[in-house]
Amino acid sequence: MCDKARTRRVANKVLLDLVSALEIPVVVKDTALRIFIECKRAHIMRGHSIDATVRASMIAAARIYKFPLVFDDLASENLSKNKIIHYFKAIASEILPKLGISPGKTPVRSFLVKYCENLGIPSNIQVIAIDWLKEIGNGDLGGKDPKGMVAAAIYMATRGVSRLTQDQISEGCGISSVTLRRYTRQLAGDADAPYYQQFKRVEKPVSRKKWPRRKRKTSSNTVLVEPKTNE
């Protein structure tokens, strides 16, 4: 088997593993393979990791089809998120223009629908969660983590109408409960409606406890001497 066929076989196996683990559509996988082959042809992956190039190609293909996928989803113990971002930038600047493709941005609503389906949240609550995101500028997160903000919107939309806990929502969205609480405070701080004020953290003034003054103790061995008087 020649090197070209072997490389393509390895890349296809990595893509199939990602499709199975992250439930990625086949059309996204096929486009990612096409991008990877073009990277191989353009020699931009010479001397670099096949795995990193494949995962960066998958991110590019996901953005083409507006499929909700972030760099954290593709990072692993042996491959950092920053390295995937580095490869993705090279693909976006050198490969996609040759193919006449613009990656664009994945709408936040796509992430919200995906995570709501994972958590079994009905469509009527999804509408409420979308309204939460609209309160911060029509769903424009301004560079913020989409997973964190979407999880916060889902959490606030389900309060009082669902038994989902913070841990369940954070696990379903792939973040920690600490991150969920942090983004909940941010989302509540960006909203202006009176209903949102209940989620804002109120800074209580720090009260210093006044300790009673200590009394001097007299020693029990102290001998009191009477003053002398002149007779």
Domains and CATH numbers, the chain: 3-99 (1.10.472.10), 108-199 (1.10.472.10)
Q: What is the pLDDT of residues 138-185, one digit of tens each?
A: 444 445 667 888 888 899 888 878 888 889 999 888 888 898 988 888
Confidence (pLDDT) at 5? 81
Whether the CB-CB separation of 115 and 150 falls below 8 Å is answered with: yes
Which helix (H) or strand (E) covers residue 18, if one does?
Answer: helix 3-22
Tokens of 188: 């509540």
Mean pLDDT (the chain) is: 78
| Residue 45 scores a pLDDT above 80 | no
| Residue 198 scores a pLDDT above 50 | no
Confidence (pLDDT) at 29? 93
Angle, CA 116 vertex, CA 114 and CA 119 arms, to 5°: 115
Average pLDDT (224-230) is 55
Whether the CB-CB separation of 155 and 184 falls below 8 Å is answered with: yes
Tokens of 44: 């931009």
- The span from the first CA to the last CA of the chain, in angstroms, equals 128
Angle, CA 180 vertex, CA 158 and CA 88 arms, to 5°: 115
Whether the CB-CB separation of 66 and 101 falls below 8 Å is answered with: no
Confidence (pLDDT) at 35? 92
Secondary-structure percent of the chain, ordered helix, strand, coil, rounded to 5:
60, 0, 40
pLDDT tier at 28 (50, 70, 90 boundaries)? very high
Which amino acid would we find at residue 174? Answer: G
Supply the pTM of this predicted model: 0.67
Whole-angstrom distance, CA of residue 212 vs CA of residue 191: 46
186 by Cβ neighbours in 10 Å (0-12 / 13-18 / 19+) ranks as middle
